[in-house]
Amino acid sequence: MNKTPKLRDIIKGVRSFYVIGNIAIVSPRTEVDKEELAKAIMTISPRVKAVYIKRRVKGNFRISELEFAGGQHITETVFKENNLRFYIDISKVYVNPSLGSERLNIRNEVEKNERILDAFTAYGGIALNVSLVSNYLVAGDLNIDGLYMLKKSIELNKKCIREIDIVQYDATFLPFRDKSFDKVYADNPTMIRNFISELCRITKHILIIYILDKEENLHNINSDRWVKINEYSKDLFIFKGYIRCDNSN
């Protein structure tokens, strides 16, 4: 039986790719022939209908700068994670499927009667997972496109999830009273330092943040503990921090 070839054996400078629904995203280390790249990926993974090259993540909404490589000109898709279905448009929100196991961990650390806020919900990756457990959940973001995707995903999963309140806001000034939530999840790794004080204002017990940084730079954030979640580059990691909001930060 012939083995499925590996992408790095076909295209030099490309080790792997990830698939979201029927869309593949790849980050080559060198310049490649886009048509050849797309053809190779769609041969390896026949369910892929479109291939994009990710150049960088930019802007306040952390949206990936994508370059079309081949296949169909589509950016909208539905993908599955932890027995949930997510509608997304990769041109309007950042999606990292490698963190699916972390979102499952979040689901398992939430108690049903806790008041929960998913503070930077985007397309609702955390919110939908938590909604399988929580009786009181608010999901908010500045990105109206992401909130629209969350609304569509709620419809896709309405038979198995609990109610989610969706709110658009600027997290600099959150529209909630002091200590409104038992737990707040804040997944905004590149900008989270700007919002810790305001997030703590509305958090009664634990603020859980995600931050992209070097480990030695975390000492000035008063977290009970840090968990290394994902490697971003040689020296940079995504860390998860648990902050008690009666502490000063």
Alpha-carbon torsion 147, 132, 230, 196, what sign? positive
No. of H helices and E strands in the chain? 6, 13
Q: Which of 218, 220, 176 is nearest to 198 (CA)?
A: 176
6, pLDDT greater than 70: no
- Three-state DSSP at 193 gives helix
Reply yes or no on whether the pLDDT at 207 is more than 50: yes
Q: What is the pLDDT of residues 25-50, one digit of tens each?
A: 998 878 888 899 999 999 989 999 99
Assigned CATH for 7-74: 3.30.300.110
CATH number of the 95-244 domain? 3.40.50.150
Parse the chain into domains and list their residue ranges: 7-74, 95-244
Question: pLDDT digit string (tens) for 150-206?
Answer: 999 999 999 999 999 999 999 999 999 999 999 999 999 999 999 999 999 999 999
Q: How far apart are CA 179 and CA 177, in angstroms?
A: 6
Look up the pTM and report it: 0.91
Strand 203-213 relative to strand 136-141, pairing: unpaired
- Comparison of pLDDT for 97 and 156, the residue scoring more: 156
Q: Within 13 Å and on the Cβ side, how many CA atoms surround 248?
A: 0
